[in-house]
Chain A
């Protein structure tokens, strides 16, 4: 059985100009111990579909789906209080801007221990011991002293490590990483990706990696979903996606990588759709 199963997810936002459809019929599955990458450019609905799973969308959003289950439980009919018990514990999320997603007013020790208190009900001593253990696991030096630090006293890479520590605090079954390395330098990016993949393997988590960086996909994913304008363009395992992309959009995306540049100019998406044909997920032979 799949850990997370979504069928025909539609997310619409109420705007002054009517309903805007951000996610248009996306279906996907994540199995245990699997890394699924969702790739797409901004506005492709990749973050919104995961926020819908977490139940973090504002009230202006209308979420409908034929099926949305996590570990056998229906997420669509879940009450808010039941959802709060799952989100943060069994499904955890890491956000793009580490510095912005930590609360600047509290020490990182307090913020990690808050998760442990709420979901696991640990006592003060146990919480502190577990927090130190978590900071050690994500590779922060002097973890015991670092508990007293505030987010502004740490670098971006360290803040992201703290976010990861919070996310894995309750041993989640599914970890959603929303562009976890976009704000970081390449050398730090490498460390964070290695850490995520290591933790994923150790804990046997399912992981969803949301990114627009094809390099990150190539380095982490088992299976890949390509999204464009709210629709799923292609789904394939990572090797066949890079070796032999089926949809036109994926081909264009791969050709736009500067690593693959052959001539003087980079091919752009427009070059692939010169005839004005609608971008579709259909395979083009």
Chain B
């Protein structure tokens, strides 16, 4: 199995400049995180808000440079602070954002949304752009008649499909999914998760799946990393993490996740009646 993404000791600090009466300070958003993701696998990153998971996503998608540490994509070391960022590298890594209402331009038709990456990244004729956009629309479960419509004509789940389609237009090897289903209803969430699984099988895609929902993570992930205040407190295969959590925070997280099975409801009702 080839390794698509490797992170070695990634650190990211943000410096807050001081004002007239206050000293500047440094926020350590990510404190030395290491992991590897193999081709065709899914790494899930779990943690609460403010734990640095979105900062990490920005580093992985080459939007922000890391303060220190090495990021290797397809075995090649990348440091965008040094100007390593090329167009070819950009197309390797794509991102899908959390909020499908905010990540699509309301004045751009869906066809143009999907064709724009092709315009930027290469000599593709207008006719071929159209054909490839149409094909991708069908891949993500939409149809050709959606090509000329605007984002406001779609539901949340459909928009998330469009955002996924846009990310896949350039055949990336790595897809970073930043809470892709947390804004969706349960039934729509199931459809989008199924779509992601289908696409992974078809294109042998590698996912970094950022989420705070443990039941989703358990369903989709191969490896799981739990982050807490910028540190990776737990990292292992899904079964290791879920059956035998080591760190206290992971245990807290499991205990806090609401369970929807009859046995735990019975236990709760019994406690309530006893009280």
Identify the A interface with B (CB < 8 A): 41-42, 156, 185-190, 193, 201, 212-219, 238-239, 242-243, 252-254, 256-259, 261, 264-270
Q: Are B185 and A239 in contact (CB under 8 A)?
A: no
* CB of B83 within 8 Å of the partner chain: no
Q: Are B256 and A242 in contact (CB under 8 A)?
A: no
CB closest residue in chain A, given B51: A185
Q: Are A239 and B49 in contact (CB under 8 A)?
A: no
CB closest residue in chain A, given B49: A185
The complex places the Cα of A2 from the Cα of B235 at a distance, in Å, of: 51
CB contact under 8 A between A268 and B258, given known A201-B275, A242-B265, A259-B215: no
Q: Are B218 and A259 in contact (CB under 8 A)?
A: yes
Interface size on B, residues (CB 8 A): 39
Query: Contact string, B234-275, partner A, CB cutoff 8 A, digits 1/0?
Result: 000000000000000000110111111110111011001001
A-B Cβ contacts below 8 A, count: 106
- Closest beta carbon of chain B to A257's beta carbon, Å: 6
Q: Are A187 and B215 in contact (CB under 8 A)?
A: no
The complex places the Cα of A217 from the Cα of B264 at a distance, in Å, of: 12
* CB of B193 within 8 Å of the partner chain: yes
The prevalent SS among residues of B at the interface is helix
The complex places the Cα of A214 from the Cα of B256 at a distance, in Å, of: 14
Identify the B interface with A (CB < 8 A): 48-49, 156, 185-191, 193-194, 197-198, 212-216, 218-220, 252-253, 255-262, 264-266, 268-269, 272, 275
Q: Are B256 and A268 in contact (CB under 8 A)?
A: no
The prevalent SS among residues of A at the interface is helix
Q: Are B187 and A219 in contact (CB under 8 A)?
A: no
The complex places the Cα of A11 from the Cα of B246 at a distance, in Å, of: 51
Question: Which residues from A are CB-within-8-Å of B269?
Answer: 238-239
Q: Are B189 and A256 in contact (CB under 8 A)?
A: yes
Question: Which residues from A are CB-within-8-Å of B156?
Answer: 42
CB contact under 8 A between A266 and B190, given known A257-B215, A258-B215: yes
Question: Which residues from B are CB-within-8-Å of A216?
Answer: 258
The complex places the Cα of A201 from the Cα of B275 at a distance, in Å, of: 10
